[in-house]
Amino acid sequence: MNTRLQVEHPVTEAITGLDLVEWQLRVASGEPLPLGQEQIVRSGAALEARLYAENPATGFLPSTGLLRHLRLPDDIRVDSGVEQGSEVTGHYDPMLAKLIAYAPTRREAAARLAAACRSVEVWPVRTNAAFLARVAADTDFLAGRIDTGFLERHADRLLPPAEPDQATIAAAARWLLPAHGAGDPWTALIGFRIAVPASAPVALEIDGRPYAVDLAMAGSAADGHSLTLEHGEHVLFRNGEAWGFAALRTESSGSPAGGSGGSLIAPMPGWVVAVHVAEGEAVTAGQRLVVLEAMKMELALSAPFTGVVTELKATVGTQVGEGMVLVRIERGVE
């Protein structure tokens, strides 16, 4: 007999009103089960989502680091062992919390769970909150049309996009305006022009990528919450997603996407378990170069194009962080 509680035991507790942990302690101390099976009454519906420190946009690879900002829902049950200031490492399962929503019907419980996932705020560690919200609100999920191929079939509508949508860009841009929150009608006249439509162009960076938006044409303000961390770092939380943003830097230090070279970046923190290339060696597109291991999984990194290895920073047995450059390649003839 498997006597341990399953991760989903809060769902059972929600629909029965019982405390299974208390039951487990009572039985362990020699007491009989408090109730028989026929005495247990079920009512309503409950759904549980596992909030993970992972990035759905990169194939659900783990995300680690310090939880500098953490806000979890306060209107549903939340079971968690972390708090703001905790560190997520690569040594343990990356689950941050369990979110459990209860309601009279499954559809209502799913709506509560989706809303709760959209309210999650975590930074700078990436999470699957937006993905969970999309799943809980999906029409096929609500209708029970799910199987083992559900996520793969509907990845285009369930996985968060790699780049922000226009509403998110506009929301971030509004926080950069001098008039934001000031209530000053004079500074609020940004873009005022006589006899022509108003214009409020804003250039900004979101997660390191440049964007431009004219707020006069962007419609009303989007929902979302922004905060400023130490050193003036701005973060926008919207629908379970988190975006770091700032005013666009104008200094011309060269484009990271320019030139004929490229870098192989660690998409997750982990240990280098294999290196299949040497500095100065010619490689072909798709050739396996480095293998990382983290959280019981291996990830092989391949050459993005044909070329020559100009710099090798990966060494077997060393630990690397997310975003670290492992290999630099100079493009050759395809």
Q: Provide the CA 313 distance to its chain's centre, in angstroms.
A: 27
Examine the residue annotation and report whether 68 is marked as an active-site residue of this protein. Answer: no
Q: Which amino acid is at 313?
A: K
Name the phi and psi angles at 232, rounded to 5.
75, 20
Of the listed 4, 77, 107, 249, which one is catalytic? 4
CB of 251 closer than 8 Å to CB of 213: no
- 266, burial (CB in 10 Å: exposed 0-12, middle 13-18, buried 19+): buried
CB of 206 closer than 8 Å to CB of 169: yes
CB count within 10 Å of CB 334 equals 8
CA dist., res. 149 & res. 241, Å (int): 25
DSSP 221: P
Catalytic residues: 4
